[in-house]
Structure 1
């Protein structure tokens, strides 16, 4: 019998580098490769994870904190890189040509028993995408670098058993920060990042009853506080485990269990 549990971790989450690991029992993928190859290997080793299990890398957009280690990592392990045409054009690095695979919106890509689907998101990049990753009936979403929660995001959020959800900044901290005005506008202007309150509203309004884990992700170094956003979400968790994804280290590996099959007898 095939086990459809998913094993997930954030290897790092923040403006200094983003990389998310999603696996079943036989294969794994990475969403983004914003750590150096050496640091990615080091963190996976600490978690007892093997790069030999990783079968592909999916890229959300071309900003450096999402692709910094991509060329070295993909070349060293001969990993195909799924990337949109716009993101590839905007990429400042030369990915090995034979490893490039096209990524199209709403097109499901099978990697063994994993199925990965990308869809457009609101962010100031060339052709940015979010991802949902499924194995059988178990689904995980990677929803970061989002300026606003559009209808498509809320639709996919409702299908997820676990999510990496951006909670980038606290409104008051950003307002009082030393950031120049143009940067504050870029962050909060609808194609930048999701605030704590915006993320919380998405969670409260659209959380499905079967969601078990939320990884609060891409926290700002200067305009957020891990304890603050954890407490904010934990007040409304209603049984969901809240994890703050660090910008300094990996999280533990969490197992997202396949939903139990309910059999009705008549």
Structure 2
């Protein structure tokens, strides 16, 4: 028994993650347009009609931009906390809006989705654990520091999307103003390569088959460098780059740790006309 997972898009220009079984699927965030989401899913052989709900991590535009159109068109319920909904200022008229509470699982067909709090500079930010067919998939992005909530859930995952937003040296040398560098590095900002790698090495379960490096900064990270750091410590886990410009392959993750699919490589992105500096 397996779950299908893919990153539809991952980065400050938009985030959207697909997790599903043979009958239904959910999206965690929808930060790119409805049209772009549909196009990428078609390329992957996935149907939007299989998607039964959207779960919202927080109100920043790169996580919610596509939600109103997508939810209306496909009549999808949007699961969102009251504080996030208020701060988002989304027009969700005509959309079924459902509140969720941290640590209370939401059942979507054969999938169970549990949100839990995280550190980020948003009203009520949550990460998610999606479970089905005996498989657990985590979505851990937009995190300032790996708190106990994150660690506890990461240790359960057969596969995970983990933020590797910036390289410390590149951020030091970047043109970003001091206040923005401080925000990114803060306890409510983003995870660096180093922080994510420390979490991975210290808390990766032996059965984790698959790790997506996610939400890489366009200006302050290098995909090749980030992947090389994790490859050295992978210990049997497949390391995949999640791009800000193209979807990954669809991976079928089983509780035995089997992986089916093809890793999106740096060469794939380059051949698609994207340069590494565009991550």
* 1:46 maps to 2:48: no
Aligned residue for 1:178?
175
Answer whether contact 1:19 1:32 (CA < 8 A) is retained.
yes
* 1:121 maps to 2:148: no
Aligned residue for 1:112?
109
Correspondence list, 1:1-266, <5 A: 3=1, 5-96=2-93, 98-259=95-256
| TM-score in terms of structure 2 length | 0.91
CA displacement at 1:258 relative to structure 2: 2.7
Distance (Å, rounded) in 2 between the aligned partners of 1:146 and 1:189: 10
Unaligned runs of 5+ in 2: 258-279
**SS of the residue 2:252 aligns to:** strand
**SS of the residue 2:7 aligns to:** strand
Moved over 2 A (4+): none
Answer whether contact 2:72 2:94 (CA < 8 A) is retained.
no
CA displacement at 1:121 relative to structure 2: 0.5
Distance (Å, rounded) in 1 between the aligned partners of 2:110 and 2:248: 24
Distance (Å, rounded) in 1 between the aligned partners of 2:93 and 2:130: 25
Distance (Å, rounded) in 2 between the aligned partners of 1:98 and 1:107: 22
1:68-90, Cα deviation, whole Å (9 max, x unpaired): 00000000000000000110010
> Which stretch shifts more, 87-96 or 152-161?
87-96
| TM-score in terms of structure 1 length | 0.95
Answer whether contact 1:21 1:28 (CA < 8 A) is retained.
yes
Distance (Å, rounded) in 1 between the aligned partners of 2:10 and 2:48: 19
Unaligned runs of 5+ in 1: 261-266
> Which stretch shifts more, 14-23 or 250-259?
250-259
Answer whether contact 2:4 2:251 (CA < 8 A) is retained.
yes
CA displacement at 1:103 relative to structure 2: 1.2
Answer whether contact 2:209 2:238 (CA < 8 A) is retained.
yes
Distance (Å, rounded) in 1 between the aligned partners of 2:192 and 2:220: 10
Distance (Å, rounded) in 1 between the aligned partners of 2:94 and 2:181: 37
